[in-house]
RNA sequence: GCGAAUGUAGCUCAGUCGGUUAGAGCGUCUGGUUGUGGUCCAGAAGGCCGUGGGUUCAAGUCCCAUCAUUCGCCCCA
């Protein structure tokens, strides 16, 4: 067994076994179907990318996050760490051919050179939806509806969509005299309000030279209901938030799931309007979906302006939550029928049976090695195949087959010609 | 990049005060059953006790280093 090369994989990456893939595909299909139900169209963008299209001009944060290297032509290459940058490049390059407002979804792997932790990998899938080319708050409300719809489809019940307006947050902070250069650091601190102690945040803000730190917290910190929160903010312009809530109501979004949180900030600096952050009942998992409105998505690539809004669903965290909470049924069969090979002399007959099922479009497979029936049944059991067909010398002589139903062990001898319709009958009944 | 905890069979873990041949459950394989899985019974295989060094008559156990994993910080899905 021991050979020279360890069968090791990079930290923060994983192997997916057939059982894993069955689960993942099932969940992915639900997410995808919901996106399509709302009229979003799928795109894909290249993995291998010029570093500057991934990292932008000011590299600081993203440079640390992204995997990058040089190719044989000494070009700087990087792997995407999210789907927003690739999308913004895509829009700048292809907007002439897109229906505007453009509603796209994109489900691809991304890479981050981070330290892995629970729910934090170096290679993982994101499921992004964005609407570009419209400034209307109806977009925000539709996205809110989409978020609740996706988690409903996945049977993840106790989600909370935390909502805030970045514009409002900026207005409040500027009102308190926070310098422009300190806005982002201040927002990063405020974002931690629910995580760390109030006083720690106040201390941090004071270090940034913000005097009325405690007072700011007084305005931003809330655990009351949405109406109370709006009241607390009455000195400021909350018309966007109110209109968003009204439209969400029109869309039928369950309002108890929408939580106005004036302290919510989101680290990324490109958000400019309403922002979202979705957490499950397992808050230690972190955010399972997040996003918001940004102005001028493609500013880096084009003078054409595209305002937009989008959210990203964290597929790996969603999977983790569903697995840990028993929301995924496992054991998807690989096919409906396993045709056993009784002995060397019966292989031709088994292939003939297989052909008849193939012709009738019944998913089936032949056991591909020479062994006893016991092993072949075990194989069917392991692959969750519901029916096993045996044709021994006796059946072959009479042109019959034995069909065994694995779930209850019942078996029946039928003419070989009736096998396909016999199997199909079980599925039509449902 | 910083801090903490943990590394024993494929997996989950036990292993007392340092003491003789390192254990269990699950999984795997074989047989009971030469025409039948899942259940049951019997048996077997599987270990550089993460790696390297040190202390000791003696180390899975103590010390140091290193690597890996997990958690927290940073950042974030």
Q: What are A263-322's pLDDT values in tens digits?
A: 887 766 678 899 999 988 887 788 899 999 988 777 778 778 888 999 999 998 898 888
ipTM of the complex in this document: 0.81
Q: How many angstroms separate the CA of A393 from the C1' of B50?
A: 55
Mean pLDDT by 10 residues, chain A (430 residues): 60 81 89 96 93 71 72 87 90 92 94 82 92 93 96 91 89 80 77 71 75 77 80 88 94 91 76 90 84 82 84 91 78 85 91 95 91 91 91 93 92 94 82
Find the domain containing A370 and state its range: 337-428
Q: How far apart are CA A264 and CA A65, in angstroms?
A: 23
Q: What confidence score (pLDDT) does residue A430 get? A: 56
3-state helix, strand and coil shares in percent for chain A, rounded to the nearest 5: 40, 20, 40
Q: What phi, psi does A124 have (nearest 5°)?
A: -155, 165
The CATH number for A383's domain is 3.40.50.800
Q: How many angstroms separate the CA of A331 from the C1' of B1?
A: 43
Q: Quote the pTM value.
A: 0.86
Q: What confidence score (pLDDT) does residue A142 get? A: 96
Q: How many angstroms separate the CA of A16 from the C1' of B53?
A: 38
Q: Is residue A317 part of a domain?
A: no
Q: Is residue A396 part of a domain?
A: yes
Burial (CB count within 10 angstroms: exposed 0-12, middle 13-18, buried 19+), residue A91:
buried
Q: How many angstroms separate the CA of A207 from the C1' of B65?
A: 40
Q: How far apart are CA A410 and CA A430, in angstroms?
A: 19
- Nucleotide nearest the Cα atom of A110 (by C1'): B77
Q: Is residue A376 part of a domain?
A: yes
The CA angle A312-A84-A65, to the nearest 5 degrees, is 95
Residue nearest to nucleotide B70 (CA to C1'): A117
Q: Is residue A363 part of a domain?
A: yes
- Nucleotide nearest the Cα atom of A285 (by C1'): B77
Residue nearest to nucleotide B38 (CA to C1'): A381
Strand B positions within 7 A of protein Cβ atoms: 1-2, 28-30, 33-38, 68-77
CB–CB of A125/A313 below 8 Å? no
How many structural domains is chain A composed of? 1
Q: What confidence score (pLDDT) does residue A268 get? A: 64
Q: How far apart are CA A35 and CA A39, in angstroms?
A: 7
- Nucleotide nearest the Cα atom of A371 (by C1'): B34
Q: Is residue A359 part of a domain?
A: yes
Q: Is residue A181 part of a domain?
A: no
Q: What confidence score (pLDDT) does residue A3 get? A: 45
Q: Is residue A145 part of a domain?
A: no
Q: How many angstroms separate the CA of A23 from the C1' of B43?
A: 36
Q: Is residue A129 part of a domain?
A: no
Q: What confidence score (pLDDT) does residue A267 get? A: 65
Q: How many angstroms separate the CA of A323 from the C1' of B77?
A: 17
Q: How many angstroms separate the CA of A341 from the C1' of B32?
A: 24
Q: How many angstroms separate the CA of A404 from the C1' of B40?
A: 21
Burial (CB count within 10 angstroms: exposed 0-12, middle 13-18, buried 19+), residue A243:
middle
- Nucleotide nearest the Cα atom of A61 (by C1'): B75
Retrieve residue A25's tokens.
Answer: 């595909």
- Nucleotide nearest the Cα atom of A268 (by C1'): B76
- Nucleotide nearest the Cα atom of A404 (by C1'): B36
């Amino acid at each position: 067994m021991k050979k020279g090369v360890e069968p090791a994989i990079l930290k923060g990456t994983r192997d997916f076994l057939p059982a894993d893939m069955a689960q993942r595909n099932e969940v992915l299909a639900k997410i995808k179907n919901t996106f399509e139900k709302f009229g979003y169209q799928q795109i894909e963008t290249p993995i291998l990318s010029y570093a500057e299209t991934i990292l932008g001009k000011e590299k600081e944060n993203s440079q640390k996050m992204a995997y990058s290297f040089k190719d044989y032509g000494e070009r700087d290459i990087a792997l995407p760490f999210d789907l927003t940058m690739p999308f913004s490049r895509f829009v700048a390059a292809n907007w002439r051919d897109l229906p505007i407002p453009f509603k796209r979804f994109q489900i691809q792997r991304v890479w981050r050179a981070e330290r892995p932790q629970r729910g934090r990998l170096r290679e993982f899938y994101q499921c992004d939806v964005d609407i570009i080319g419209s400034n209307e708050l109806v977009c925000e409300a539709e996205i809110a509806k989409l978020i609740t719809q996706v988690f409903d489809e996945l049977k993840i019940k106790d989600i909370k969509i935390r909502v805030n307006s970045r514009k409002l947050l900026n207005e409040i902070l500027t009102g308190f005299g926070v310098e422009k250069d300190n806005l982002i650091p201040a927002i990063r601190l405020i974002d931690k309000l629910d995580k760390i102690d109030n006083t720690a945040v106040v201390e941090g803000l004071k270090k940034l030279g913000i005097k009325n730190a405690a007072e700011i917290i007084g305005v931003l910190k809330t655990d009351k209901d949405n109406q109370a929160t709006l009241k607390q903010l009455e000195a400021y312009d909350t018309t966007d938030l109110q209109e968003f809530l009204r439209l969400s109501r029109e869309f039928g979004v369950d309002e108890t799931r929408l939580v106005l949180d004036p302290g919510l900030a989101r680290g990324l600096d490109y958000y400019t309007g309403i922002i979202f952050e979705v957490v499950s009942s397992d808050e230690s998992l972190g955010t399972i979906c997040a996003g918001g409105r940004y102005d001028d998505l493609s500013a880096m690539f084009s003078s054409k302006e595209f305002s937009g809004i989008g959210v990203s669903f964290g597929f790996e965290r969603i999977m983790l939550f569903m697995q840990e909470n028993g929301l995924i049924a496992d054991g998807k069969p690989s096919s409906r029928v396993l045709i056993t090979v009784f002995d060397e002399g019966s292989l031709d007959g088994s292939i003939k049976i297989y052909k008849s099922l193939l012709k009738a479009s019944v998913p089936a497979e032949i056991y591909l090695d020479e062994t006893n029936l016991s092993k072949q049944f075990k194989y069917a059991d392991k692959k969750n195949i519901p029916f096993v067909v045996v044709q021994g010398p006796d059946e072959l002589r009479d042109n019959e087959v034995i069909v065994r139903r694995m779930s209850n062990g019942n078996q029946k001898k039928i003419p070989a010609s009736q096998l396909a319709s016999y199997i199909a009958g079980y599925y039509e009944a449902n």
